[in-house]
Structure 1
């Protein structure tokens, strides 16, 4: 066995073998170790389905790559992976489900995934065993199907060996130690005795520059060995196999094709043919999480007892949909652990706090994802970044505040929600509320309907008491829309107050702070008392993070970034500071102060008048004037009894301030602001209205317009990039050129819906770009969106079309900041 390699992959399931294949193909000296046999984990009892359907952009790319890879594995390796391309028919019983499929279609179209819409009559004509009278239609993927999980894993393993990867079985990892330049991994050979796998006492060390963990159900053991948290915990998943169905056997004997994989999403199951019978896989309520603290040593390729009572409703729904299945008996059953995460997405990318340690954990659709994850993770490791933005799968999207109990509840919820309608405005309720700002109860009493961001409860909008947010969700304009519209209008006409406490906040100090941030970010640093907007880049030259930097002293900086990414940003800042100091830079200290500071954002024409009633100053009449408090500056002021670090900036594009205050004083500040503000028209405003308003100003948002697949120059942020200085990622950014450009579009869309930011952009019937954000503009009384198009089309006045609900609607590229392009409202004096 090798003792020194470029990269060690831990885990020999489908995911691990897919990663080893692509790293070996990239020329890295690769070793894969597996504690048991290849496929011994969840891989062996997976149903082997390959669903292309996914509402996420990155995950859609991953699944699409996998299916294309698997189709060519036999030609490459000589091993037949059992790939059956029978198609996938995803049925809909309701109009809302068809709306979901049409929104998915927008994502699939931008990725290039082939799909079709079928009517009930078309379904009945092609597959007469399927009952269709209660269906609205279906989405059909002709290139979808299923594969033998063990065979595709062995095929990828053979491909990896052919590319130079070594694979060792019965090798268990017992420890990891980072030396500063490489990992020393302690492993032990395992032996089989009496059906159990036990340590042999034969211990080795493997030295590796990089390690990838793909340990599946054993993720909690991996987390303990690494000293980190990995919220990947298995949940039971059952599927049953029926005896042969005589009607199905006659259908096939007559020369008819195999049925596609059938998915009745509203009934929460999938079904496919299996040797003349059917496999039923339900996603029922009440499926329990298992092994929250680790898989017992005695558990190998084992299963749990079947719980038919738990899946009775789904079983009866299969009989309803395929009436001939009513008389067939059960032939076999499976109930095994499948890993989940709190949001259902896997964890793919750098491990928090560790160098050259990469996670590939938490795969609930591991067979579908294995090939694509291998491809894109190898790009991240070898080239510095993947060609698609993988931030939505980044392990650091979950913070250290997350506990085992939280992960258990959320993972069970994620399982139950596999087939639940995935509204773009969905909010799941398990384990909430948990992280609340002090003003939470006051906001709830005023009708706040909360969303969750990195565990924080944040108002999405405010509605009359008794309003049901769940019932208001829609793929069109939900019941909440009218309230968000009123809030947006209030900001434009009077004043709005937004709770932005969830913002990530870091303090960077020390004798090397200035030089460090100058190297880390693209813009010139502000002077003391001023602020700027700037970007940290990946080593591939794309946008890693957006920061508002407040310079409080010569070597004292306060950094504000997106609230969903606190741990993601902290990890990057700390590691980057270590790199800087390791290269000879002076000492830099990074401190996460997110939970120390509450934030209220007040904006609108009346915002100065509201604050003037609370400010305490020797000359209160002028403290908020442009002369004493200019735009893009910071001042420490007193609002009543609260000391506030006020920043004159507004994400809504109106006169406004961010009021950063000691979090323990938040309730006092909230009460005082509302008492003096409401007579002046101050309105509580949620995140949805704010999202609309920032698009009227063409303000890019991290996670939508800004991500690891585009440079700041492609995002149209040239004014925040100082090309006269050197900064991390500059050469790579310049080397990429301009592949596409970010634009704002005014859209003449349907009367009852707005774009969500997933839709394709078209010119003369050809796709030329895609939206990344969408919503409604109260300034222009029409839909608005932001997105990326070919550079030659990023010219104001260019007429394009947006695909919504399978129809094309006119759109026009407008100048940046179509509302108040001169920023006169922001800079107004008083």
Structure 2
């Protein structure tokens, strides 16, 4: 056995397909001192028993881009390395047996056109012709992706490992990493059962063991194993050799042709978590006990879909573990808790089709010091610390395996492991009819059911049961006054003698303002992309309050802390849990608040974008005049123990002013009518403030500049080939969600990034990016005929740079 070296530039823990892909791509980037350590033998954890499906169409643009890269990589890997991979391009067919599923497939196929992925919508007869062995009497249609296929998991991993070795990487098997070593907030190496290896970078690709290994060094890697079942049939006479992979999500079934046999697997609605007390250290090429009773109902459905199965024997009944994350998206990137500690884990049964792209972008991230594209969908910085909780993970995993093939309805909420984080107003909002959704573990009121209606979602692609209730909330904010519980928003205090200098370098806007001023700003990376979208309130000469989105809490705090110089007299701490936030918004908000405070709320005494500490009812709180809905209003920040009392008096005092509770669906429809951006949808690290129409928030001339300024300077004042625009449908019936293709004069020019029905303007409205090599200008937008592809239908639309509602912003300064 090769000797364990004393040090390496990079240590990769885990020899599955993802770890080997990372090693392969690191040497492709020119790094030679790469050491991969595998506790047993390559692929022996979960890779070896994967079905090997290679599909490209994923839920989002960037995940699809990674899957497309994976397919292209596997297609040429054998020719490059000399190692057979078993890759075969046979296409894949997904079928629909319900109208909702057909709509889901159609919208997915439309999204695929945004990034050049061929996806053919088929009628029922065409779908049946692609898979003549299936019963198609109940099939309504399907989508065929000709570039999809399958590969051999073991052979493909060995090919990646061979390519890594050819590039200089060392791969050692039968060597267990027992601990990740660290000091002063950064990794220093690994401890193994055969000695210590010093390292600049450590990457946790340990699969089933990744959670426990990460926990030893304080990193949260929330994943949990579940049992996954498939069968392999005996040979089926007459089975065509060119059948595509078949996906029947309404029956929770996938079918892979395999040398005259069929591999049939399932993602059942109620899964079986496994390894609740940890995964055994000696687990290698492991099978779990058969449980035919558990999977029998789905096998019966598969036999109805493929009648030949009823007369075919089963050669193999397999049950093996796969690891799942709480949101069914894998975990990738540098851990926020520990510098130079990277993670690639939790691949939710799609590790084979994700490994090529994941390995490439993670290698780029390590080598270049930043991700090569917006990876927020899978970025480990979305994880909340509580999510490492074993009981939470076990309970959520019961649901997450099945979600892979469940209906991906708009606004769908998880049903398991709920009630983790509750605001101080939770009980009062529930009594008011709130229907709660979940974000970052928070229970948040998405809409309020009127009397006689149950606060429960009824999902569809059309107008869901809460549509009119949310419309009423929306109109109350526009016409009277609405109350939002925004306590889940993340809040950080930045304090110290150097707080101004530190924040002014991080923020693109100028925060060297008098106390009591509020600054809207972005945090940029060195390439000019948007890392965060925040408001900064100067509370005192040496103290600021930063407010950002709930989902960005971990990411933004890590970004902030890592950009505070070590010698700065400045500290940042999270005060989210200590401060409740109630937003009072609408033309009657001043009248309502004036009933409860002696403070002067007039424009002269309390102008827009200012903040004051006031007495309101029995509380002393911070009132900030700012808005995310485009109306006159205030956000009220107070210690959490005061929130219930303040809420009660607001409700009582606002009854005759038309006060209504409003939820996050109304917040979304209101903000989109005003074209207010949302980080993670409309803006991200690949988008610049200039492209996003946020140039007004750039303080070009402030002393010391800001991170990203040098990258943006050459683009200042120049025509921009990419711009964020507001797109409004002309037909009031169709609904938009996001990732719908945008056409101008019949040519694909962009895609939507977020959308909602605008109840004030009476039709669906979206934000989205469009591109034109000569520049996206008002004239170019006005001179074209725009359409949005909604499923299979092209719908006429208008596109503009300014919002359709109150474009001058007069109402927020009323």
Tell whether the structures are fold-level matches, with TM greater than 0.5.
yes
The answer to whether the Cα contact below 8 Å between 1:55 and 1:107 also exists between their aligned partners in 2 is: no
Query: Which residue matches 1:731?
Result: 710
Determine whether 1:793 maps to 2:793: no
Q: Distance in 2 between matches of 1:126 and 1:612?
A: 68
Structure 1 residue 739, shift from structure 2 partner? 5.1
Structure 1 residue 224, shift from structure 2 partner? 2.9
Match of 1:611, SS state, is helix
The answer to whether the Cα contact below 8 Å between 2:488 and 2:576 also exists between their aligned partners in 1 is: yes
Query: Which residue matches 2:723?
Result: 741
Aligned 1:55-454 pairs, distance under 5 A: 55-179=59-183, 183-188=187-192, 199=193, 202-203=194-195, 205-245=196-236, 249-252=237-240, 257-364=241-348, 365-402=350-387, 403-454=389-440
Determine whether 1:642 maps to 2:619: yes
The answer to whether the Cα contact below 8 Å between 1:87 and 1:143 also exists between their aligned partners in 2 is: yes
Determine whether 1:764 maps to 2:745: yes
Determine whether 1:608 maps to 2:585: no
Match of 2:622, SS state, is strand
The answer to whether the Cα contact below 8 Å between 2:724 and 2:801 also exists between their aligned partners in 1 is: no
Query: Which residue matches 1:475?
Result: 461
The answer to whether the Cα contact below 8 Å between 1:384 and 1:539 also exists between their aligned partners in 2 is: no
CA 92–454 in structure 1, closer or farther in 2 if over 3 Å, else same: same
Structure 1 residue 589, shift from structure 2 partner? 1.2
CA 733–76 in structure 1, closer or farther in 2 if over 3 Å, else same: farther
Q: Deviations over 1:405-453 (max 9, x none)?
A: 1111112211021111001210011011221112112111221111111
Q: Distance in 2 between matches of 1:511 and 1:607?
A: 36
Q: Distance in 1 between matches of 2:328 and 2:131?
A: 32
Q: Distance in 1 between matches of 2:506 and 2:650?
A: 37
The answer to whether the Cα contact below 8 Å between 1:385 and 1:539 also exists between their aligned partners in 2 is: no
The answer to whether the Cα contact below 8 Å between 2:447 and 2:466 also exists between their aligned partners in 1 is: yes
Q: Distance in 1 between matches of 2:484 and 2:344?
A: 37
Match of 2:492, SS state, is strand
Stretch deviating more after TM superposition (512-521 or 812-821): 812-821
Match of 1:300, SS state, is coil
Structure 1 residue 691, shift from structure 2 partner? 0.9
Determine whether 1:22 maps to 2:25: yes
Match of 1:226, SS state, is coil
The answer to whether the Cα contact below 8 Å between 1:221 and 1:293 also exists between their aligned partners in 2 is: no
Query: Which residue matches 1:5?
Result: 8
TM-score by length of 1: 0.93
CA 6–283 in structure 1, closer or farther in 2 if over 3 Å, else same: same
CA 292–727 in structure 1, closer or farther in 2 if over 3 Å, else same: farther
Match of 2:533, SS state, is strand
The answer to whether the Cα contact below 8 Å between 1:523 and 1:535 also exists between their aligned partners in 2 is: yes
The answer to whether the Cα contact below 8 Å between 2:518 and 2:610 also exists between their aligned partners in 1 is: yes
CA 143–424 in structure 1, closer or farther in 2 if over 3 Å, else same: same
Q: Distance in 2 between matches of 1:47 and 1:793?
A: 45
Query: Which residue matches 2:475?
Result: 489
Match of 1:207, SS state, is strand
CA 164–465 in structure 1, closer or farther in 2 if over 3 Å, else same: farther
Match of 2:53, SS state, is coil
Match of 1:705, SS state, is coil
Stretch deviating more after TM superposition (460-469 or 231-240): 460-469
| Structure 1 unmatched ranges of 5 or more | 189-198
Aligned partner of 1:503 among 489, 511, 516:
489
TM-score by length of 2: 0.95
Structure 1 residue 499, shift from structure 2 partner? 1.0
Aligned 1:644-723 pairs, distance under 5 A: 644-723=621-700
Q: Distance in 1 between matches of 2:544 and 2:332?
A: 31
Q: Distance in 1 between matches of 2:721 and 2:70?
A: 25
CA 742–479 in structure 1, closer or farther in 2 if over 3 Å, else same: same
Q: Distance in 2 between matches of 1:801 and 1:19?
A: 41
Stretch deviating more after TM superposition (709-718 or 495-504): 709-718
Structure 1 residue 557, shift from structure 2 partner? 0.2
The answer to whether the Cα contact below 8 Å between 2:435 and 2:456 also exists between their aligned partners in 1 is: no
Structure 1 residue 735, shift from structure 2 partner? 6.5
Q: Distance in 2 between matches of 1:183 and 1:683?
A: 51
Structure 1 residue 150, shift from structure 2 partner? 0.5
The answer to whether the Cα contact below 8 Å between 2:735 and 2:764 also exists between their aligned partners in 1 is: yes
Q: Distance in 1 between matches of 2:133 and 2:707?
A: 60
Structure 1 residue 369, shift from structure 2 partner? 0.5
Stretch deviating more after TM superposition (172-181 or 140-149): 172-181
Q: Distance in 2 between matches of 1:50 and 1:111?
A: 18
Query: Which residue matches 1:193?
Result: none
Structure 1 residue 466, shift from structure 2 partner? 5.8
Structure 1 residue 545, shift from structure 2 partner? 0.9
Q: Deviations over 1:8-32 (max 9, x none)?
A: 2111100011111111111123222
Q: Deviations over 1:778-810 (max 9, x none)?
A: 332222111111152342525321110212112
CA 208–405 in structure 1, closer or farther in 2 if over 3 Å, else same: same
Structure 1 residue 34, shift from structure 2 partner? 1.2
Structure 1 residue 230, shift from structure 2 partner? 1.3
Structure 1 residue 145, shift from structure 2 partner? 1.4
The answer to whether the Cα contact below 8 Å between 2:178 and 2:213 also exists between their aligned partners in 1 is: no
Q: Distance in 2 between matches of 1:186 and 1:596?
A: 37
The answer to whether the Cα contact below 8 Å between 2:243 and 2:257 also exists between their aligned partners in 1 is: yes
The answer to whether the Cα contact below 8 Å between 2:450 and 2:469 also exists between their aligned partners in 1 is: no
Q: Distance in 2 between matches of 1:705 and 1:354?
A: 29
Structure 1 residue 811, shift from structure 2 partner? 1.9
The answer to whether the Cα contact below 8 Å between 2:109 and 2:121 also exists between their aligned partners in 1 is: no
The answer to whether the Cα contact below 8 Å between 1:477 and 1:753 also exists between their aligned partners in 2 is: no
Q: Distance in 2 between matches of 1:439 and 1:161?
A: 58
Structure 1 residue 121, shift from structure 2 partner? 1.0
Match of 1:228, SS state, is coil
Match of 1:689, SS state, is helix
The answer to whether the Cα contact below 8 Å between 1:747 and 1:810 also exists between their aligned partners in 2 is: yes
Determine whether 1:574 maps to 2:561: yes
Q: Deviations over 1:613-660 (max 9, x none)?
A: 111x2xx5xx10011111000011111001120100110000001011
Structure 1 residue 123, shift from structure 2 partner? 2.4
Query: Which residue matches 1:547?
Result: 534
The count of corresponding residues between Structure 1 and Structure 2 is 797
CA 819–137 in structure 1, closer or farther in 2 if over 3 Å, else same: same
Q: Distance in 1 between matches of 2:482 and 2:457?
A: 26
Q: Say what the alpha-carbon RMSD is for the aligned residues.
A: 1.8
Q: Distance in 2 between matches of 1:369 and 1:708?
A: 21
CA 815–127 in structure 1, closer or farther in 2 if over 3 Å, else same: closer
CA 182–677 in structure 1, closer or farther in 2 if over 3 Å, else same: closer
Match of 2:634, SS state, is strand
CA 54–74 in structure 1, closer or farther in 2 if over 3 Å, else same: same
Structure 1 residue 2, shift from structure 2 partner? 3.8
